[in-house]
């Protein structure tokens, strides 16, 4: 491997002057004059530091006494100091209230003595009844008794305790609807030739169902404690089904007093 070394020269021992790099000229836009002109054109005096020239107040124009009070015009001042009224002054408006010297004429005159009439009415009239109040504190605070809710007004009404008309009307409508329903049922039963069970037949039917339930229940109680075969299990389920059906039929007959059956 070969190495390259810097070439030695005697000129390298001489001192050298440092050469400073020359800066290029500063960039200036060609639109600079037009932009500057537009900025100066659109700029107002008060947008920077205020107007260029401000009028300084004169020391002679100081605030004087009564200078801000409203002043009367020259005509009023002249009339005030001279005591003379101008001939061309406006006329006074007509007074709405009659003067003392006026004698108005009344259209209708009455000879009634109102003083005596009022006195007689006050003597013969009934005294004014005091307004009922109530006091609920020992300090003596008074309140109206009528608006307090302590006076039984509702029970003293003429229609208190009377059945409202809408209730009577509703009851009548319900009765009429019930009659129409019963008439429709009877007509439907007549068309289908259905028979209504009498009370004795209903009672006997109910007793027979209860007797059958007791017999099935007796058979159910007679089953063995241990159900270890399939026939025993099937027989137990059969008895339970029969008991549920009999209980359902007994409940239906006891719940409905009127029962219809179809004729064969």
Mean pLDDT of the 236-243 span = 90
pLDDT for the residue numbered 51: 61
Using alpha carbons, select from 202, 180, 190 the residue that is nearest to residue 257. 202
| 143 in any annotated domain | yes
Structure tokens at 59: 């020391």
pLDDT for 32: 93
pLDDT on residue 89: 54
* Per-residue model confidence (pLDDT) at position 31: 93
The yes-or-no verdict on residue 117 having pLDDT over 70 is: yes
Report how far apart, in Å, the C-alpha atoms of 227 and of each of 131, 147, 196, 215, 220 are.
91, 81, 45, 21, 12
Residue 97 has a pLDDT of 76
The per-residue pLDDT for 16 is 82
Mean pLDDT of 194-215: 86
Is the CB of residue 116 less than 8 Å from the CB of residue 110? no
- Does residue 61 lie in a domain region? no
Residues 146 and 199 in one domain: no
Secondary structure (DSSP) of the chain: -----PPP-GGGGS--PPPPPPPPPPP--TTHHHHHHHHHHH--GGGTTS-S--PPPPTT----TTSSS----HHHHHHHHH-PPPTTPPPPPPPSSPPTT--PPPSS-----HHHHHHHHHHHSPPPPPPPEEE-STT--EEESTTTT-S--GGGSTTTTPPPHHHHHHHHHHHHHHHHHHHHHHHHHHHHTEEEPPHHHHHHHHHHHHHHHHHHHHHHHTS-S---SHHHHHHHHHHHHHHHHHHHHHHHHHH-S--EEE--
Domain that holds residue 157: 132-192
- pTM beyond 0.95: the answer is no
Given 173, 192, 211, the domain boundary residue is 192
pLDDT 10s digits, 144-170: 888 888 888 888 888 888 888 999 999
- Picking from 159, 192, 225, the residue at the C-terminal end of a domain is 192
The reply to whether 198 and 241 lie within a common domain is yes
Most confident of 50-54, 56-60, 84-88, 223-227: 56-60
What's the number of domains the chain is made of?
A: 2
226 lies in some domain:
yes
């Amino acid at each position: 491997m070969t190495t390259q070394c810097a070439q030695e020269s005697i000129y390298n021992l001489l001192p050298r002057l440092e050469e400073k790099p020359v800066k290029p000229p500063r960039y200036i836009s060609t639109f600079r004059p037009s932009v500057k002109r537009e900025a100066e054109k659109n700029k107002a005096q008060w947008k920077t530091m205020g107007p260029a020239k401000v009028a300084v107040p004169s020391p002679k124009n100081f605030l004087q006494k009564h200078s801000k009070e409203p002043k009367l015009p020259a005509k009023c001042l002249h009339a005030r100091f001279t005591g003379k009224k101008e001939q061309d002054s406006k006329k006074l408006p007509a007074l709405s209230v009659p003067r003392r010297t006026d004698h108005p004429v009344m259209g209708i005159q009455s000879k009634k003595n109102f003083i005596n009439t009022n006195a007689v009415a006050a003597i013969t009239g009934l005294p004014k009844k005091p307004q009922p109040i109530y006091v609920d504190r020992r300090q003596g605070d008074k309140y109206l008794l009528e608006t307090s809710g302590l006076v039984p007004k509702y029970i003293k009404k003429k229609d208190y305790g009377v059945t409202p008309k809408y209730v009577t009307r509703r009851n009548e409508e319900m009765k009429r609807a019930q009659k129409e329903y019963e008439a429709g049922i009877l007509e439907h039963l007549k068309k289908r030739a259905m028979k209504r069970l009498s009370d004795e037949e209903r009672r006997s039917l109910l007793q027979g169902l209860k007797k059958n339930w007791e017999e099935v229940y007796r058979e159910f109680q007679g089953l063995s404690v241990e159900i270890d075969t399939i026939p025993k299990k099937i027989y137990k389920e059969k008895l339970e089904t029969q008991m549920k059906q009999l209980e359902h039929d007994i409940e239906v007959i006891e719940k409905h007093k009127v029962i219809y059956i179809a004729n064969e």
